[in-house]
Chain A
Amino acid sequence: DRERCRPHRAMHGPNAGSGPRGLRFLGQEEAQAIDQELFIEYKFSVDQLMELAGLSCATAIAKAYPPSSFTTSQPAVLVVCGPGNNGGDGLVCARHLKMFGYQPTVYYPKRPNKPLFEGLTTQCQKMDIPFLPEFPAEAALIDELYGLVVDAIFGFSFKGAVREPFGSILSTLERITVPIASIDIPSGWDVEKGKADGLQPDMLISLTAPKKAAMHFAGRYHFLGGRFVPAALQEKYTLNLPPYPETDCVLQLT
């Protein structure tokens, strides 16, 4: 396990058309099509897949940043949740991080009025996970209080301009020195082209399959999570996913 967490140079550069053993990087529309097929054809519920996705994220984080590796006195993690499903993944992740011995704190400024998200919020609150009333004003404050930030702001459906308060949040996150773990897509990045002057996360957890943006990822850890894609769907979209180890719900790609 120690060996797998040793820093590697990112294997995917901007010119890579595919990763190890032909692993495919998906465009935005393809990613959306696969998602739709899981819900409509396979009748998975959003709850089911979100739970598995969030668990994958927490598990990947635990492998790369074990609690003992934190220099803060407690393994404090800030989880920043956006207004959609990526934010929901973040809430699930926060809950599992708590179970794994971390001390997560959530910032969740825009909460959808849907039972799914209300339920996830309640689960976190009932587990004594604090929800910040305000985003830390300065990058230096985040560096002081937390050993890791989970970016659960925007996911693979993201398009267009970043609406407040997330623009300011991302500007602050771009200046922190503690590592950032992004769920599925580094927030603010174009889902296919990336963003050269945007967030530079240390870890990326690609869900289901990596998106094209991941080819521009230059951080230390790239994990695959969301181990729920049926074999037939993998074949239909020629995902060429490498095999997951044993019963693990994550696979370290780099």
Chain B
Amino acid sequence: PVSSRQAFPLPSLPRKQPTVLVVCGPAQNGAIGLVCARHLRIFDYEPTIFYPKRSPDPLYRDFTTQCEKMDIPFLSYLPTEVQLINDAYNAVVDAVLGAEAEAGEGREPCAAILATLKHVRIPIVSLDVPSGWDVEAGSSGGISPDVLVSLSAPKQCARRFLGRQHFVAGRFLPYDVQKKFELNPPKYPGTECVVAL
């Protein structure tokens, strides 16, 4: 979670206000999105969150409280007219579904959200897995993120990623885990917690 924020390009944003829409799904990927939104706020971005199906997990509920107390607005609905999203925000963080998502589980309202996101013209930054993609096979006709931040290590579907930048955020994986799974991670520069692949 601490690492996802660093993939965001710094103020070279087209809109006057550094607005970012963070779309959070019902499970862990969404919770990571909440943490990301909070750090974006600390970095002086103006995040807005859409979090339609809130997890009952106490840790994730606390993440929500932290965002609310930091005056990060929560949308009550996602506009279906994409031009409204294109006009209001510089980028969208896709924290809807991660590698843990299983087919058919909690798919609504995710399917509707993804249908809208498919048509936005502003860059999408996906956390771990572009939402809706099969973790291994990738996607046909799903969302096309501009930036992918692989968490821990890239998933197989990342091979099909065609966007501009692919970061991996896995610096803090213990060495024995890295060896056990033969991750062969790249070298992280300095004290950075993300590295561009």
Name A residues whose Cβ lies closer than 8 Å to a Cβ of B: 41-45, 51-52, 55, 58-59, 62-63, 96, 99-100, 123, 126-128, 227-228, 230-232, 246-247
Inter-chain contact A126/B2, CB cutoff 8 Å:
no
A247/B6 in contact, CB under 8 A: yes
| Chain B nearest CB, measured from A230 CB (Å) | 5
Query: Distance (Å) between the CB of A89 and the closest chain B CB?
Result: 15
Q: Which of B2, B10, B66, B190 has the most C-beta atoms of chain A within 10 angstroms of its own C-beta?
A: B66
Residue of B whose beta carbon sits closest to that of A127 = B174
Of A123, A227, A232, which contacts B69 at CB under 8 A?
A: A232
Q: Which of B6, B10, B190 has the most CB of A within 10 A?
A: B190
Most buried by B among A52, A228, A230: A230
Per the bound structure, the CA–CA distance linking A230 and B174 in Å amounts to: 31
Closest to A100 in B: B191
Whether A42 and B65, one on each chain, are in contact in the complex, defined by CB atoms closer than 8 angstroms, is yes
Cβ contact within 8 Å between A63 and B70? no
Given contacts A100-B191, A127-B175, 7 further A-B contacts (CB under 8 A): A43-B62, A45-B59, A51-B2, A96-B172, A99-B172, A230-B42, A231-B71
Across the interface, name the chain B residue whose C-beta is closest to A126: B174
Distance A62 CA – B65 CA, assembled complex (angstroms) = 33
CA distance A99 to B177 in the complex (A): 13
With an 8 A cutoff between CB atoms, is B182 at the interface? Answer: no
CB-CB contacts of B157-197 with A at 8 A, as 1s and 0s? 00000000000000110111000000000000011000000
In the bound complex, do residue A62 and residue B191 qualify as a contact, i.e. CB atoms below 8 Å apart? yes
Tell me how far the C-beta of A41 lies from the nearest C-beta in chain B, rounded to whole angstroms.
6
Q: Are B191 and A230 in contact (CB under 8 A)?
A: no
A193 to B69, CA, bound (A): 34
Bound CA span A62–B2, Å: 18
A246 touches B2 (CB 8 A): no
Q: Say whether A232 contacts B176, CB under 8 Å.
A: no
B59 contacts across to A, CB distance below 8 A:
45
The answer to whether A230 touches B69, judged by C-beta atoms less than 8 angstroms apart, is: yes
CA of A247 to CA of B42, assembled, Å = 9
Name the one of A99, A232, A247 contacting B5, with C-beta atoms under 8 angstroms: A247
In the bound assembly, the distance between CA atoms of A208 and B69 in angstroms comes to 18
Quick one: which of B10, B66, B176 contacts A126, CB cutoff 8 A? B176
Name, among B6, B41, B65, B172, the residue most crowded by chain A CB atoms within 10 Å (CB to CB).
Answer: B172
**Residues of chain B within 8 A of A96, CB atoms compared:** 172
Q: From known contacts A43-B62, A232-B70, A247-B5, infer whether A58 and B191 are also in contact, taking CB-CB under 8 Å.
A: yes
Determine the residue in chain A with the shortest Cβ distance to B176.
A126
CB within 8 Å for A55 and B2 given contacts A42-B66, A127-B175, A228-B42: yes
Instruction: Please report the C-alpha to C-alpha distance between residue A41 and residue B8 in the assembled complex, in whole angstroms.
Output: 29
For the complex, what is the distance from the CA of A44 to the CA of B59, rounded to whole Å?
9
Shortest A69–chain B CB gap in Å is 14
Q: What's the minimum C-beta distance from A101 to chain B, rounded to whole angstroms?
A: 10
List the B side residues contacting A231 at CB < 8 Å. 41, 70-71
Is B43's CB under 8 angstroms from A44's CB?
no
A79 to chain B, nearest CB (A): 17
Q: Which of B117-166 contact A (CB under 8 A)?
A: none
Q: Taking the nearest CB of chain B, how far is it from the CB of A248, in angstroms?
A: 9
Give the residues in chain B near A246, CB-CB below 8 Å. 10, 43
Q: Which residues of A contact B175 (CB under 8 A)?
A: 127-128
